[in-house]
Amino acid sequence: MISVNTTSKKTLWIGRVLTALCVLFLLFDGITKVLKVAPVMEACERLGYAANLVPGIGLLLLACTLLYVIPRTSILAAILLTGYLGGGTTTLVRVGEPFFFPVLMGVLIWVGLYLRDERLRNLWS
């Protein structure tokens, strides 16, 4: 079976830009957790996470983000990141904080992937 690339350049670039924005934020978030940046540690403790868990959470986020930028593993990584962001959403709901940001980030991760990955678009057709 021959695969025909039907993605326009504009669609592909929009997907790449959305992906890049998500990756930059996720890298920043993961690195600040691993480096135990004071405001991040305070926020995590306020949300109920013990300080000794935060670097591990950051490493998990960095690993998932790395998988997301590798084309062969990007769909698996999007699933893993959805779970990670679902945990963040749950945490924010539990403490009564606004929870729209992790939901928005999850949507952007999938939209960016959908626009740049023909395999994913073929699942819907």
Q: For the segment 62-120, what is each residue's pLDDT rounded down to a tens digit? A: 999 999 999 999 999 999 999 999 999 999 999 999 999 999 999 999 999 999 998 88
3-state secondary structure (DSSP) of residue 28: helix
Integer-rounded Cα Rg, in Å, for the chain is: 16
- CB burial of residue 78 (10 Å; 0-12, 13-18, 19+): buried
Round to whole Å and give the CA distance between 71 and 79: 14
pLDDT over 80 at 35, yes or no:
yes
Domain residue spans in the chain?
A: 9-118
Predicted model pTM: 0.90
pLDDT over 70 at 5, yes or no:
no
Tokens matching residue 6: 């039907």
pLDDT over 80 at 6, yes or no:
no
